[in-house]
Chain A
Amino acid sequence: LAKTTQPISMDSYEGQEVNITCSHNNIATNDYITWYQQFPSQGPRFIIQGYKTKVTNEVASLFIPADRKSSTLSLPRVSLSDTAVYYCLVGETGRRALTFGSGTRLQVQP
């Protein structure tokens, strides 16, 4: 399984755009990149998934460069409720059980 590296923590203020970058140098051809969000005392929640280029949904955008060795989760105009841990996962299509790293703890301040 591809190993991921992401910052341990980040701080931001309400209304700012937050970009969290994940490094996955040994990503395989069949691997997808998936981001999850976890609030305290809850299970992780799917945010977004992509294979290459850019993916956008109502919550976030995911930017993946051509070499796919990294990816960036972009959260537009964060609010206090976006304070959570964000996990970047890389896994082969069909392998549903993915490996979670330690994640990035995002703290949004007023």
Chain B
Amino acid sequence: NAGVTQTPKFQVLKTGQSMTLQCAQDMNHEYMSWYRQDPGMGLRLIHYSVGAGITDQGEVPNGYNVSRSTTEDFPLRLLSAAPSQTSVYFCASSHSNEQFFGPGTRLTVL
């Protein structure tokens, strides 16, 4: 099993650009989540999904969209990138109370 994979590993955007961060898991987990982590801080929940076709907002959802068309994939879309969205983004999946995290995407918005 590859576990949770994220692409790209690094990305630089200009203000106003849009992009999609990809997340995939091959463990058949129902639950998937997106977090962001700013330097020296803990993780903050952006959006999460309890299954295909079902998504909900987390703590900091503004500026981000998600969809869950399949169990495996949970992409995160930045609609119009802003410097405040410079962060490291982690995707996670779980089927019990243990979450499995991907390696992260380091995003810089200029």
Residues of A within 8 A of B (CB): 32, 34, 36, 41-46, 49, 87, 91, 93, 96-103
Report the contact-size class of chain B (Cβ under 8 Å from the partner).
Answer: 20 to 34
Cβ A49 vs Cβ B98 within 8 A: yes
Cβ A43 vs Cβ B103 within 8 A: yes
List chain B residues, Cβ under 8 A from A102.
Answer: 41-42
Question: What's the least CB distance linking A106 to chain B, in Å?
Answer: 15
Q: Give the one of A42, A44, A101 with max B CB within 10 A.
A: A44
Cβ B42 vs Cβ A101 within 8 A: yes
Cβ B43 vs Cβ A32 within 8 A: no
In the complex, besides A96-B48, A96-B97, A99-B45, 15 extra interface pairs with C-beta distance below 8 angstroms are: A34-B98, A42-B101, A43-B90, A43-B104, A44-B90, A45-B101, A46-B99, A87-B42, A87-B43, A96-B33, A97-B31, A97-B58, A98-B99, A102-B41, A103-B42
List chain B residues, Cβ under 8 A from A96.
Answer: 31, 33, 48, 50, 94-97, 99
